[in-house]
Amino acid sequence: MEFKHISVLLDETIEELHIKPDGIYVDGTLGGGGHAYHVCQKLSEKGRYIGIDQDADAIAASTKRLEPFKDKVTIVRDNYVNMPKVLHDLGIEHVDGILLDLGVSSFQLDEKERGFTYREDVPLDMRMDQRQSLTARDIVNEYSEMELFHIIRDYGEEKFAKNIAKHIVNKRKESPIETTGQLIEVIKGAIPMKVRAVGGHPAKKTFQAIRIECNRELDVLKDSIDAMEEFIFFRRNALKAKLDSELLTSADGVLEEEQIRILEEYFQTLKEWHIRDIIDGYDRICILFAKVCAGRRELLKRTKKVLENAFLFLEKCFGKEQELLLFETELTADDQAGIFISSYGCAHYFQNCDLLLYQKQERELQKECRVILEDKD
């Protein structure tokens, strides 16, 4: 089956990474390489992209997709919790951005043999990394009733967790629970029919809980948060050293400071929330990220409006005279203004660019005419 996964918040993610052509970026959940492909398009020959994933199918798919960028891409099969070691082994001391797309991928859900789905009757597995020994079958058949209860309650937030754990233990006394279909029937028997009739799939929360336990998702996330807090600390120190050594312009320094501030805000929020569910944590970070993007879109809208109004004011007060020419020239000469206009456009700017070009050509022709007339005299 072809590895297919839709990259979430693709445009917003690419924008917020503030990609530097010569930068180094790390993708801790490479997947099919969706985000990676778009980042690599913006990297120069000096840029690097480190992709990490524990899923063999994802590694194969991303390797194929990122073939055009193989000179700047390094793909490592590992868990993102080991990111510091991976970077150390590659001789990388600092990076310019980190990307994590948490949770199970659509491919893993669709590939029924992986045992994540509750829509097919297949062997219980749920391993994101096929190299690990622990499977969902082991958890269902070997964990104690109390352990199952805590997992289903805490990771699945299932209010019938106690009854589901009891039914699982009673069923496996008769024979091992081997497939997703068998487990689903046990779960159905533990939930009142009137509740099953109005909610979603009755096995959804229990399957989520077992998957999180099987792959140590919360432990991995916690370890990653600790590692990334350390990364932020070193990145802030590196920024200070660059500014002290005048290796960064003030504008680049402001941009990097803002990136670090956002990272600090996200990780502090994760800690304060005391997240029990990796999906919940991911969803909440998405909400924060969406707010940042919405704020940027509103600021962009206001800035474009101010710029257009400035042109309208000058045209109304002075017409297409020297004042408008000076304003246009200043915008053209300013690097940040140039980047903004080339990225987001400004109708009046481009209209007046044509006027400036015409006026420049007119002056050059007048100069040539004067030279010709002087030669005749």
pLDDT of residue 377: 59
Q: Is 263 domain-assigned?
A: no
Q: Which residues of the chain fall short of a pLDDT of 50? A: 1
Q: Is 249 domain-assigned?
A: no
Q: What is the CATH number of the domain that holds 45?
A: 3.40.50.150
CB-based burial, 90-116: b 16+ in 10 Å, e otherwise: eeeeebbbbbbbbbbbebbebbeebbb
Instruction: For residues 148 and 68, state if they share a domain.
Output: no
> How many domains does the chain fold into?
3
Instruction: For residues 66 and 120, state if they share a domain.
Output: no
Q: How far apart are CA 202 and CA 134, in angstroms?
A: 24
How confident is the model over 67-102, as pLDDT tens digits? 999 999 999 999 887 888 898 899 988 888 888 876
Q: How far apart are CA 12 and CA 292, in angstroms?
A: 9
Q: Is 291 domain-assigned?
A: no
Instruction: For residues 99 and 135, state if they share a domain.
Output: no
By the 8 A CB rule, do 80 and 19 touch? no
Q: How far apart are CA 270 and CA 274, in angstroms?
A: 7
Closest CA to 153 of 141, 135, 166: 166
Instruction: For residues 167 and 197, state if they share a domain.
Output: yes
Of 90, 105, 120, the residue that ends a domain is: 105
Q: Is 252 domain-assigned?
A: no
Instruction: For residues 144 and 55, state if they share a domain.
Output: no
Q: What is the CATH number of the domain that holds 117?
A: 1.10.150.170
pLDDT of residue 71: 92
Instruction: For residues 130 and 38, state if they share a domain.
Output: no
Q: Is 233 domain-assigned?
A: no
Range of the domain at 193: 111-214
Instruction: For residues 131 and 86, state if they share a domain.
Output: no
Instruction: For residues 88 and 123, state if they share a domain.
Output: no
pLDDT of residue 177: 96
Instruction: For residues 68 and 154, state if they share a domain.
Output: no
Q: Is 25 domain-assigned?
A: yes
Reported as type and span, the H/E element at residue 198 is helix 193-198
Of 55, 74, 105, the residue that ends a domain is: 105
